[in-house]
Chains A and B, each alone.
Chain A
Amino acid sequence: MMGLRGTASAAAAVMEPEPEVSDEALLVLFANGDPTVAAELTQRLGPRVLGMAMRVLGNRAEAEDVTQEAMIRLWKVAPDWRQGEARVSTWLYRVTMNLCIDIKRRARGGTLDLDAVPEPPDPAASAAETLQNQARADALQDALMTLPERQRQAVVLRHIEELTNPEIAGIMEIGVEAVESLTARGKRALAKALAGRRDELGYHDD
């Protein structure tokens, strides 16, 4: 069942058409004073920023603060944006990651908020499945929070945000080989952390 759902969603992601107007073009319009494009940019980029911040920080309130601050920085950079040099989303991921690192530095040993990863309601899923999905999401977040910070950042960017290794290298300001090493070690550590929870997470049903 899970495999089917996963395959379907992956196919949908692949088939998702590129937006007609690029993020960059919208940012230029914003800088030119167009009052209508901020909503579109927020709709496109807000969930990605919030999602990454929640995964890295493990705390929704902090992630929301980071999201608002990252978007403020996007608005401010708009007039000075150099077209064609970087993708807006990559730039924003980088700003977000740095804000997350700052928060972690200020408060070492961030706590995991159990409400941090809300599962959107799935009308097709039964109550039991919903609970199990929630348990899986929490289990993933629990496991992510056991990783060293750099491994967690690299794993989130690679496997949840689906960025390329060069993009991640640019965001984390490290080499591509270092990214590969961090994601490989992070994935192994996740597998170890999740070992023994297969029955709990319902994988025996598959």
Chain B
Amino acid sequence: MTDHHDNFDDIEALFREARDARPVVSERLTSAILADAAAQQAHWQAPPLPPQDGSVRRGPLAALVSALGGWVSVGGLVTASCTGLWIGLWVGIAGPEVVMNAAGLGTLSDASAMVSGDDYAAYETFDLATVLAEDMQ
């Protein structure tokens, strides 16, 4: 029993010595670890900002889109153009009377029929060409 305790005391002493004798990390290993750390930090860095001296060159398409107000505006423009083209083709194929007979447009023609003769006379005297000519002066 005494021997058993002696052995355990010896082991405790050895553990204490081992704790006191932590290994020193060599300069070579320290340098390698710090190089890894720097590389990792560099990896996280945001990409460099573009130069602010106006030297950025854009392609002609990008310039055109920008001039038209960006991609959102261009999207609306394309939609409106396609709609107009579709209506034009439809009228060209089916004839203008089809447009006036289309559902919903009948009421429009009825409304125009309700315009009085005095209103129409006032409208007839409105000459757009005259107004524009006055503005030019």
Given contacts A42-B34, A67-B29, A191-B8, contact A3 B13 (CB under 8 A): yes
Whether the Cβ atoms of B19 and A139 lie closer than 8 Å is no
Assess whether B13 is in contact with A194, with CB atoms less than 8 Å apart.
Answer: no
Per the 8 Å Cβ criterion, residues 21-66 of B in contact with A are: 21-26, 29-30, 32-34, 36-38, 40-41, 44-45
Q: Which residues does chain A contribute within 8 Å of B118, judged by CB atoms? A: none
Contact B14 A68 (CB under 8 A): no
How many angstroms between the C-alpha atoms of A159 and B30 in the bound complex? 26
Q: Which residue of A lies closest to B36 (CB)?
A: A72
CB pair A198–B10 under 8 Å, yes or no, is yes
Task: Say how far A63's CB is from chain B's closest CB, in angstroms.
Answer: 8
Query: Nearest-CB distance from B89 to chain A (Å)?
Result: 57
B interface residues, how many (CB within 8 angstroms): 34
Contact B23 A191 (CB under 8 A): no
Q: Which 8 A-B pairs rank lowest in CB-CB distance, beginning with the nearest?
A: A38-B37, A191-B7, A6-B16, A75-B40, A46-B25, A140-B14, A159-B15, A47-B22
- CB distance B8 to A47 under 8 Å? no
In the complex, identify which listed stretch (A48-56, A93-101, A104-112, A173-181) lies at the interface while the others stay far away: A48-56
In the complex, how many angstroms separate the beta carbon of B81 from the nearest chain A beta carbon?
48
Contact B11 A187 (CB under 8 A): yes
With beta carbons under 8 angstroms apart, the residue of A10, A31, A46, A64 that contacts B16 is: A10
